[in-house]
Chain A
Amino acid sequence: MADTQFSVTTSPHLRTTVTVSSAMRDVLYALAPITLVSIYWFKFNAVFLIAVCLIVAMLTELLFRKAMNKPATLKDGSALVTGLLVALCSGGCSAWWVGALATFIAVGIAKELMGGLGWNRFNPAAFGRISVFLLTPFFYWLGLAFSPLQASFGGLDVITSATPLALLKQGTALPDLGSLFLSFPGGALGETSALALLIGGAYLLYKEHIRWHIPVSIVAGVFVMALLFGDHSTTPFYLTPFYHIFSGGVLLGALFMATDWVTSPITPRGRVIFGLAIGILLMIFRLALGPTEGTCFSILIMNAFVPLIDRLTRQRKFGEAPARPAPVAVKPSLEKSS
């Protein structure tokens, strides 16, 4: 009898059913509504761009891990999430190779070269997107250099097409807030519907993959900054913040990119600091510098501060507050009567 062998491990012996792969799958589900809306508006362009980004993401991960002699991790699904996010950050009329390059940088450099999922300090999708944005002048130079060869690189539309924000800046007629909220084909694929993003975000909240702190504090930061410093000349004072929140990459960033597990703080207090800082930074970008890419830039900047935020917001230990003196009187009952 004594030789009967069962597996012996330390407790706990139960595990939740949620794994990294199942969580990544949930993120893909959550991105489905906005993906569908973007396909509705940009048709084949969107389908093609998304497909290219997904395929490049997987190939890049395979390639890098193979080159570094590491086991394949495609089944964790994180490459697909990064690929899809890069596509959604790209403009509806972007050339396919811009998306492909951004994805390659995102997965290959920002994730795999940093050690793979879990070790990356910066949000891969934001990193990839910002890299191609910064490389724009180089692409123009390339285009000029190769123009004698009649080589076509497709539309050099690295910068997203006129977003409602750009329109706001130019003073052009604006879409009304309602259509901005429901669906409006300005800007990047992932900026076509606030509603679709909110539905996806609600799903992630329900699944407890994200917590409310980061999205809410980003939106709060944007709201306050827009109220205080926004351009109220074309819109009523109280509506300006909503234009800022529902347009551009705010919601995509707040719900899906800033909440990235690996690159966001681990404590509730840290998440609030992180979110507020992103909201404020992105409004500084928008109001002072230029109408595009503020969200991705702000997220990357704050990614760099995460270790510091984590250190500064360590949670108080249980029972650290001085113990209340034991009251002699019986305290009122905690429960409701049945």
Chain B
Amino acid sequence: MAVSIATFKGGVHPEYFKELTASLAVTPVEPPKQVVIPMLQHIGAPCEPLVKPGDRVLVGEKIGESEAFVSAPVHATVSGEITAVAPHAHPSGQMIEAITIESDGEDSWEQPAAVEFDWEKLSPDEIRRRIREAGIVGLGGAAFPAHVKLAPPEDKPIDTVILNGAECEPYLTADHRLMLEQPQQIVTGLLIMLKILGAGRGIIGIEDNKADALRVMRQEIEGRPELKVASLRTCYPQGAEKMLIEVTAGRTVPAGGLPMDVGVVNHNVGTALAIARAVTEGRPLVERVVTVTGGGVARPANLLVRIGTRVGDLLELCGGMKEDTGKLIIGGPMMGLSQPHPDIPVVKGTSGITVLSDEEFELEEATACIKCAKCVDSCPVNLLPLFLAEAAEHGLIERAEKYRAADCIECGCCSYICPARRPLTQWIRLAKAEVLKRRRQR
């Protein structure tokens, strides 16, 4: 295999633990008896419920919608009866309005409204409409509405679409399995995006610890000179948007800017797959692949699950949690959100459920900063985490702003690498939120 030279400055090399699930094919899970579907599963405006308790719904029926541009509708993921519309615990830690559906066990689907499924015959506007109607958001975890990224303003021409198959987050293998099992759909999704944007090239970036995925995707793009598979050195956070664009397209997103400022649109491979299915099959986003993994779970797996499935039910399905489970994380261990309990639903952005045993994480007390500057060396966006965190710790928000708190991508490298175990990312995240808040007020 080719030696990948492509990487960025900084980053860290955590143990990946992907062998727990990397060789396990995606297993579809039976639709659950009950799903809880939050009205907010994306960045942007929350949806308004379109149904009320007692209503009957089919799979794929729209049950939540918003007028806002930056939003994405939500759909029923089982057929049955609405039993509740009420706030429910959400992976974000908040209580968010959600619709509970009791399944009738029939799994009856709503018939797609569209008639033309040959995407090459569709207009860009029609494709964008279908993507929005299907409720597709970034499936890598950020959950930004997909149609918004695919509708850049006139003055920002896009010439490159980059698919993120880096999956640099330890433990997770959902994207890896998708690339192995459904490469054709992923490429179709990429071609659809190129068409909408009028872009001339597509790049699929994959870390070199996934040699099989690199091979499969390369075979898949053969004969398409506009597409390219880039082998990236395995290094966290290789899949972070700005890093990926720098490494694969050789362009630097300006500080405070967006990928479209350098002519790039960036999507996760799972999103490409969802787009392909929405456009060519009229299928809304009602299910996704979730890696259930970690030393705290009896039988790790890659599962195809309906959105709204309870995390606790999925864990039961995987043999339950072990006695010494210390942490339940939605997402991977570097950027995921730890949860107090498993009574939360899988949402569109849930790429994994990582259950760490007590041995796999540590809660050590922080000691004084020894200025080793390992955080400086590892910061992919050239911040000085030690000084930034110090300012944040003392509530010096203006100084934190001077140290560019707003540019932090919250990758977690600084906290990971700190030998004094200082919670740098946590302090910087707080300062960043405060800085952004003040900027909005100005």
Contacts and interface: CB of A to CB of B under 8 A. Distances in A.
Contacts of A14: 14-15, 170, 333-334, 360-361, 416
A6 B333 contact: no
Interface string B132-160: 00000000000000000000000001010
A238 to B, nearest CB: 35
Given A267-B376, A317-B407, A326-B251, A20 B420 contact: yes
Nearest to B340: A8
Interface in A249-269: 261-267
A266 B226 CA distance: 43
B355 to A, nearest CB: 9
Contacts of B369: 118
A330 interface: yes
A120 B214 CA distance: 50
A2 interface: yes
B262 A326 contact: yes
Given A261-B371, A319-B255, A330 B200 contact: yes
B367 A6 contact: no
B262 A314 contact: no
Contacts of A7: 326-327, 338, 363
Given A317-B404, A321-B252, A337-B2, A12 B368 contact: no
Contacts of B325: 6
B353 to A, nearest CB: 12
The contact size tier of chain B is: 35 or more
B382 interface: yes
Contacts of B300: none
Interface residues of A, number: 60
Interface in A282-338: 314-324, 326-328, 330-331, 333-338
Contacts of B261: 323
A335 B231 contact: yes
A10, A20, A208, A324 — most chain B CB neighbours (10 Å): A10
Residue among A3, A4, A12, A338 having the largest count of chain B Cβ atoms under 10 Å? A12
Contacts of A147: none
A326 B360 CA distance: 44
Interface in A6-23: 6-16, 18-20, 22-23
Given A14-B361, A23-B372, A266-B376, A6 B336 contact: no
Nearest to A263: B371
A230 interface: no
Given A1-B342, A2-B343, A334-B230, A10 B252 contact: no
A326 B159 contact: yes
Nearest to A311: B387
Contacts of A8: 338-340
A19 B374 CA distance: 12
Interface stretch (B27-35, B66-74, B189-197, B241-249): B241-249
B373 A261 contact: yes
A167 to B, nearest CB: 38
Contacts of A318: 242, 252, 255, 380-382, 407
A324 B251 contact: yes
Contacts of B305: none
Nearest to B228: A333
B4 A335 contact: yes
A13 B333 contact: yes
Contacts of B343: 1-2
Contacts of B251: 323-324, 326
B319 interface: no
B425 A11 contact: yes
Given A5-B340, A116-B368, A331-B249, A317 B419 contact: no
B5 interface: yes
A5 B341 contact: yes
A162 to B, nearest CB: 37
B163 interface: no
Contact of B415 (A15, A208, A320, A321): A15
Given A15-B361, A261-B372, A266-B373, A1 B341 contact: yes
Contact residues of A: prevailing secondary structure: loop
A264 B370 CA distance: 10
B215 to A, nearest CB: 8
A327 B341 contact: no
A263 B412 CA distance: 25
A1 B383 CA distance: 41
A4 B157 CA distance: 50
A335 B2 contact: yes
A333 to B, nearest CB: 6
B242 to A, nearest CB: 7
B390 to A, nearest CB: 11
A323 B254 contact: yes
B334 A315 contact: no
Contacts of B419: 16, 18-20, 22-23
A125 to B, nearest CB: 15
B364 interface: yes
Given A19-B419, A323-B261, A324-B251, A3 B341 contact: yes
B1 A338 contact: yes
B416 A319 contact: no
A119 interface: yes
Contacts of B254: 319-320, 322-323
B95 to A, nearest CB: 12
Contact of B382 (A13, A209, A317, A327): A317
B361 A13 contact: yes
B363 A335 contact: no
A338 B222 CA distance: 13
Contacts of A324: 251-252, 262
Contact of A15 (B342, B364, B382): B364
B5 A336 contact: yes
B425 to A, nearest CB: 6
B386 to A, nearest CB: 7
Interface of B: 1-6, 12, 14-15, 89, 157, 159, 170, 200-201, 214-215, 218, 226, 228-231, 242, 247-257, 261-264, 312, 325-329, 331, 333-343, 354, 356, 360-364, 367-374, 376-377, 380-384, 386, 404, 407, 410, 412-413, 415-421, 423, 425-426, 429
Nearest 7 CB-CB pairings of A with B = A326-B263, A12-B412, A118-B368, A266-B373, A318-B381, A261-B372, A13-B333
29 contacts: A2-B343, A6-B328, A8-B338, A9-B338, A10-B429, A11-B336, A14-B334, A15-B361, A15-B418, A15-B421, A18-B417, A18-B419, A23-B372, A23-B419, A117-B367, A209-B372, A265-B373, A266-B371, A315-B376, A318-B381, A319-B242, A319-B254, A319-B257, A327-B159, A330-B226, A333-B228, A334-B6, A336-B3, A338-B214
Interface of A: 1-16, 18-20, 22-23, 73, 76, 115-119, 208-209, 211, 261-267, 314-324, 326-328, 330-331, 333-338
Given A11-B412, A330-B200, 7 more contacts: A9-B327, A14-B416, A20-B370, A20-B419, A263-B371, A326-B263, A330-B159
